[in-house]
């Protein structure tokens, strides 16, 4: 009788331990999506209220896929336990089939601990449809230069230096005001946007960034010259907008011909490929893009001042 009771107690203990083990489930928002959009991959683990999990990074091939960890949600369950959901973003750089490999998640709950393993999952990053390509052509673009370049580091020494320069600049302004009161004020010459853009293009050509192997910096500068020219020339000023929103606003303004809109979409889509897909254009192709940007600027100079202005900036 005693032995039977002990056996029942042992079985209950084993059953209780089995029930305490957490469960894991892996889900995808969609197993198939256009290659320029990211997959959302979620891991959901349920267990008792003391459950703690260590979610690792997703192992991917860096040359073809970018993956990052996003938010972690913690929700209590009706039975007094907890549900943990970790979401990842998987961003393919090229069309094709990919595999999200098995992931080992270490868990601990009180004195119990273990590892939960997810099965591998197939992802299909497909080519864009004709409708998607047509929609993308109207507002495709790259991030603004300040979003591509790394943010500057600010140090105490730099702050003190800026304050000193600010005081010096203030003294210079005061001196200039006093001087202007004693002399005849001379008009300030402000170059029109097209002359500024052509001068910047000439300086970019002189720097020869492609010859130094700085292809990314070359396309960042070339696209920035084009974007700022459009803002200054057509008063399409939207610094608070993203680049796709900016180009969409430019398209809605109806100041560009259909050929010019096609050029903007194709050129900026090429800049996207250089930045995100690590595309290495040929030297002839980079020269062609430079000439196309310069031609776009010259074609959009006002007719009443085009000849004289272009001769000065040539």
Q: Residue 137: is it exposed, middle or buried by C-beta count within 10 angstroms (0-12/13-18/19+)?
A: middle
Mean pLDDT for 120-148 is 66
pLDDT at 70: 78
Q: Confidence class of residue 195 from pLDDT cuts 50, 70 and 90?
A: very high
Reply yes or no on whether the pLDDT at 142 is more than 80. no
Mean pLDDT for 101-130 is 86
In whole angstroms, give the CA distance from residue 104 to residue 70: 17
Predicted confidence (pLDDT) per residue in 174-188, tens digit: 877 666 666 555 555
**Among 151-160, 162-171, 189-198, 268-277, where is mean pLDDT lowest?**
151-160
Predicted confidence (pLDDT) per residue in 200-252, tens digit: 999 999 999 999 999 999 998 998 899 889 888 888 775 566 667 777 877 88
Domain limits for position 275: 145-152+189-313
Note whether residue 279 is domain-resident: yes
pLDDT at 63: 59
Alpha helices per DSSP H over the chain: 2-20, 130-136, 145-148, 156-182, 193-207, 215-234, 243-252, 258-276, 283-299, 306-313
Reply yes or no on whether the pLDDT at 296 is more than 90. yes
> 201 with 303, same domain?
yes
Q: Confidence class of residue 148 from pLDDT cuts 50, 70 and 90?
A: very low
This model's pTM is above 0.85: no
pLDDT at 215: 92
- For the chain, the domain total comes to 2
Place of tokens 């995808």: 28
Mean pLDDT for the chain overall: 79
Q: Confidence class of residue 151 from pLDDT cuts 50, 70 and 90?
A: low
121 or 8, which is more confident: 121
> 113 with 206, same domain?
no
pLDDT at 13: 47
What one-character DSSP code corresponds to residue 304?
G
Note whether residue 70 is domain-resident: yes
pLDDT at 122: 81
> 198 with 292, same domain?
yes
Residues 6+ apart with CB under 8 A from 210: 218, 283, 286
Note whether residue 163 is domain-resident: no
CATH number of the domain where residue 102 is located: 2.60.40.4100
Note whether residue 15 is domain-resident: no
> 202 with 307, same domain?
yes
Distances (CA, A) of 284 to 21, 160, 241, 274, 288: 62, 47, 33, 15, 6
Note whether residue 69 is domain-resident: yes
Note whether residue 2 is domain-resident: no
Q: Choose one of 127, 162, 197: the last residue of a domain.
A: 127
143 or 92, which is more confident: 92
> 194 with 104, same domain?
no
pLDDT at 290: 96
Residue 276 token pair: 């995100």
Reply yes or no on whether the pLDDT at 88 is more than 80. yes
In whole angstroms, give the CA distance from residue 299 to residue 265: 17
Residue 172 token pair: 């210079």
Reply yes or no on whether the pLDDT at 274 is more than 80. yes
> 106 with 211, same domain?
no
Note whether residue 159 is domain-resident: no
Mean pLDDT for 50-58 is 88
Note whether residue 179 is domain-resident: no
């Amino acid at each position: 009788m005693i032995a039977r009771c002990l056996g029942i107690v042992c079985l209950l203990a084993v059953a209780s331990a089995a029930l305490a083990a957490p469960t894991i489930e892996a889900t995808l928002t969609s197993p198939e999506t256009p290659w320029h959009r990211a997959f959302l991959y979620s891991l959901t683990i349920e267990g008792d209220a003391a459950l703690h999990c260590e979610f690792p990074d997703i192992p991917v091939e860096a040359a073809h896929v970018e993956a990052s960890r996003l938010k972690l949600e913690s929700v209590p369950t009706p039975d007094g336990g907890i549900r943990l959901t970790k979401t990842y973003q998987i961003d393919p750089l090229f069309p094709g089939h990919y595999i999200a490999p098995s992931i080992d998640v270490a868990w601990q709950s009180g004195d119990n601990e273990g590892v939960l393993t997810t099965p591998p999952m197939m992802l299909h990053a497909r080519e864009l449809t004709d409708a998607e390509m047509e929609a993308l052509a109207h507002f495709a673009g790259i991030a603004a230069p300040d979003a591509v370049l790394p943010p500057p580091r600010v140090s105490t020494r730099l702050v003190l230096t800026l304050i000193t320069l600010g005081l010096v600049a203030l003294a210079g302004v005061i001196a200039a005001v006093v001087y202007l009161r004693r002399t005849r004020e001379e008009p300030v010459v402000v170059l029109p946007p097209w002359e500024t853009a052509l001068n910047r293009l000439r300086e970019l050509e002189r720097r020869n960034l492609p010859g130094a192997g700085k292809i990314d910096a070359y396309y960042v500068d070339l696209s920035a010259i084009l974007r700022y020219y459009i803002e200054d020339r057509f008063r399409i000023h939207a610094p608070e907008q993203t680049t796709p929103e900016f180009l969409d606003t430019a398209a809605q303004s109806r100041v560009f011909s259909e050929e010019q809109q096609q050029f903007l979409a194709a050129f900026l889509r090429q800049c996207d490929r250089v930045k995100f897909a690590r595309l290495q254009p040929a030297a002839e192709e980079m020269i062609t893009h430079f000439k196309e940007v310069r031609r776009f600027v010259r074609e959009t100079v006002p007719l009443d001042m085009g000849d004289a202005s272009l001769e000065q900036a040539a």
